[in-house]
Amino acid sequence: MNGSPYTLSCRSTECQARCGEVATLHGIVRTPVFMPVGTLGTVKAMTPENLIEVGAQIILGNTYHLYIRPGHELIRSFGGLHQFMHWQGPILTDSGGFQIFSLQDLAKITEEGAAFRSHIDGARLFLSPEDAIAVQEALGSDIMMVLDTCIPYPATREQAAKATALTARWARRCREAQTGIGQHLFGIVQGGMYPDMRLEAIQQLVDIGFDGYALGGLSVGEPKELMYEMLEAAAPHLPVTHARYLMGVGTPEDLVEGVFHGVDMFDCVMPTRNARNGMLFTSQGRLVIKNACYQQDQRPLDETCGCYTCRHYSRAYLRHLFQNREILAYQLNSIHNLHYYCTLMAGMRSAIQADRFLAFRRNFYEHRTN
């Protein structure tokens, strides 16, 4: 790939926050951006039309899960993941490294790759860096991720160093395996909770040369303060000319702090998972819809929100649906939460363009009651 698909359009004069665009085969992504997670080729409880309405620009698929079921060759036969799932916007596919890491006892990591057993039927499977690229190319995603070795928390310096070095070697193999058909490939920075190791990992990836750079191995159980410390230590050292992606993070507060530190892209299952568990995000903070105080509440979830759910339904009705485990509850709650996340990102983009991000950040925290 020649050059970077990322174009920087403006920067805050007050902090590291910045706006830009990532050019992909399926359109331009305006950053900073939140990417809804569609692990199995679907963002749970959401139609593609719902996603467009809430303001989603780009979504995620997962190499590990789609490799196991229904299989990348089947998806290729449909013309790729976009056609298979009826989503014509950009798609980023995670390489499966985190999922293999989370399998723990079912996986064995070697120099060659990851040998693991399927979480579905126990079948023996193997995924090498080359396989991870081949699968993602079959899926036809706009942005592919290198196969990495995620580091648990806590980890000794020796454990972190060994895994980080393996990630760098795998990253090079991924880059060499890419066939160059227009898909972007992002490198993943590991390094555990060791700032110097993070900086060394960044340099190794930059030397290989990628289309974007991600910070991995955060939000894996470490205290929030330590995550922010690693973010502050690493993010400013990622190339200014390339997109910066903070993987698997996080809460609305995490997004604001990530943008403050210069991150462009985020993903997390939290808005959809919390929606299915009855926790809604609002401009005032979190709202647990099952609480009895909402039984007769005629107000929308958030009186400042313009999403489909808030335009048409009361808290009382949404509580009724959730208490009875009606499927519609999960859809309406998911629409609201993802609209909240996408609107939050749009607000941050506007604040950066107006060079008032610190005022936006201050206002964000002042209005939250929990």
Residue 251's identity, in one-letter code, is: T
**DSSP category for residue 17:** -
Q: Which of 131, 264, 267, 302 is catalytic?
A: 267
Q: Is residue 267 flagged as an active site residue?
A: yes
Cα–Cα dist 295/291, whole Å: 8
Cα–Cα dist 218/58, whole Å: 22
Cα–Cα dist 171/169, whole Å: 5
The residues pairing with 279 across neighbouring beta strands, listed in sequence order, are: 288
Measured in whole angstroms, the distance separating CA 96 from the mean position of its chain's CA atoms is 13
Q: Do residues 18 and 7 touch, judged by C-beta distance below 8 A?
A: no
Cα–Cα dist 310/341, whole Å: 14
Helix and strand totals (H; E) in the chain:
15, 16
Burial of 221 (0-12, 13-18, 19+ CB in 10 A): exposed
**Which residues 6+ apart lie within 8 Å of 259 measured at CB?**
17, 32, 348, 352, 357
**Which residues 6+ apart lie within 8 Å of 273 measured at CB?**
none
Q: Which of 94, 142, 254, 302 is catalytic?
A: 94
Closest alpha carbon to 100 in 63, 139, 141: 63
Residue 358's identity, in one-letter code, is: L
Q: Do residues 213 and 165 touch, judged by C-beta distance below 8 A?
A: no
In the block, residue with structure tokens 């009855």: 278
72 — alpha (psi -120 to 50), left (phi > 0) or beta?
A: alpha
**DSSP category for residue 221:** S
The residues carrying an active-site annotation are: 94, 267
